[in-house]
A and B are shown apart, each in its own frame.
Chain A
């Protein structure tokens, strides 16, 4: 069994009254439940669409980790840039991407967030300050450092004020052993860059359990400490815990303009990708984590707190299912990119066979609705 454990699992935090556990409003809690259900249903439908061969390439499912993307994005401002790796559908939806653009991207349609040029691993959403979806393990960590550096530079050097931003750079525990990550952390520590490296520690780098590939796997925040970066450990199965923990960390990083590293213990309920038979872990281990479903946790806490009842939950679920069904239909109806798109968006300016660039529908729709 992977050595990943949930550090606050025994606390049974859900039994404490909600008001004691969180400063979040009932509206926020309902919103998080909604977002997590949306991600779950979206991913279930994604798996079906993949099996129906409507989605090509590699496809990585976020089921089980919903509380991480939802809790972390809730803990920062919308203007704060975020970047992630290839298991990115959850982050896109949590950031506010309309699921229709996300699904259309995977279908390889012009209505996709990147006009069908990126695919499942490369979700970009400028109106929602999502800077990708990146396919190379760890490569997004210097980029995230640069987003935070850039935001701070704009605030301070260009704007003449003080830093107002913090960036989130999500990575999996599999990225812990990439050189780029250490270089990024060293620069962030050295230059006081307000970036938070959020390690979604699901215990597996593809099929390799964390202790088989990573030294100090029982305490990975030691890696950040080596760069002078404060480390934190959070449970990733409870969205309230994620939010409360991340809110404090993010507020501090923003105010002090310093980086942080957060080890969030979570579990992917599905395989690494759609083609993973999961022979490297036991059914018992999977069941152990599945009983700790983040959606069930929040639902039960909200029922206990009187914020929703069974009927309310069922009706919310129905609503979500209808929304995702509609997004599938929208993606299906979106045309494939015109072949002229092949030479579009290579360079900003037109020259030679390159036809310049233009914004995808996800951006023009956002501008229209303003």
Chain B
């Protein structure tokens, strides 16, 4: 493991910068990415290195610049589109859902769309409902796109580099709450393949499956539950599409119990999809039905205490685990 420790945001920048040095077809565009150094400083310093032709400040015009980037991707370029927040991607729903993931299919294989859309996803900063979208549930429903959602800085770099080199559209979900998270990140080329989940904590009693920031909630819950003698295995899925169901199934066959933790709303979500798949694969192995912990099925509240309760937090996860294990 690399000895160097950097922040999540630095890891993202390093992936982009290294890929931009490697390939002139890669460029970054979005609101405030250049002169402002990025609204969250992810692209700090990139304008100086790459210049305004490749680090492009756009107006607040998501539908326009997302669509423009898709047109450029059809020409063979590899745009990285930064959404300041995925919440703002909703006004670009038509290009990002109707064009990017469908172009290859609708053109019979002629025009692919090698593009990365990335930005902050999820609640937790007291931003109120319009700025707190978890788009996993909405967007993972659409075939033709890939969705990566790192939980640690090394994956932030490795998954983003893979996303940029991928020939298909990738929706890359970051969390504003995690940009300052520090961790060991390899220098130089670092690629994390899509569709390979990782076991973050080994355990024997229950399998916790999660993605992105809630992986940390799971680890926190596992720590608490260990004190009660409950051993949790925590799986970080890393990509939602493609989904590494094999790693999940292997773990559930060992623990005979599964709790899925997903920060999107429960109705028609990655959590419900994983629960269905686990039921299909592990029907005879399960001691209880798969439990799910999601964000509460309400618009995201502003008040700190309500927002904390809204999130799939460690307490709610621990309660679900006890329930799954018939522990009163």
Contact = CB atoms under 8 A, between A and B. Distances in A.
Interface of A: 81, 83, 112-118, 122, 124-126, 131-132, 134, 136, 139, 141-151, 153-154, 156-158, 179-180, 182-184, 186-187, 190-191, 344-349, 351-352, 357-360, 362-363
B71 A83 contact: yes
B110 to A, nearest CB: 4
Contact of B109 (A142, A183, A186, A359): A359
Interface stretch (B54-62, B117-125, B204-212): B54-62
Contact of B63 (A180, A191, A346): A180
Interface string B192-231: 0001000000000000000000000000000000000000
Nearest to B61: A183
B64 A124 contact: no
B72 A112 contact: no
Nearest to B66: A142
B108 A153 contact: no
B77 interface: yes
Given A118-B107, A180-B67, A345-B104, A187 B54 contact: no
B309 interface: no
B71 A118 contact: no
Contacts of B129: none
17 contacts: A113-B108, A124-B107, A124-B110, A139-B94, A139-B99, A141-B67, A142-B67, A142-B68, A143-B71, A146-B69, A146-B75, A147-B74, A150-B74, A184-B64, A186-B64, A345-B109, A348-B167
B74 A143 contact: yes
Nearest to A184: B64
Contact of A180 (B53, B58, B64, B105): B64
A139 B74 contact: no
Contacts of B59: 186-187, 190
A22 to B, nearest CB: 32
Contact of A345 (B56, B64, B70, B108): B108
B45 interface: no
A144 B144 CA distance: 22
A187 B60 CA distance: 10
A83 B71 CA distance: 10
Nearest to A157: B53
B72 A150 contact: yes
B194 to A, nearest CB: 8
B76 A118 contact: no
Nearest to B195: A351
Given A114-B108, A148-B71, A157-B27, 9 more contacts: A124-B110, A144-B71, A146-B69, A146-B72, A150-B73, A153-B77, A157-B54, A346-B104, A349-B168
Given A115-B109, A124-B106, A187-B59, A149 B71 contact: yes
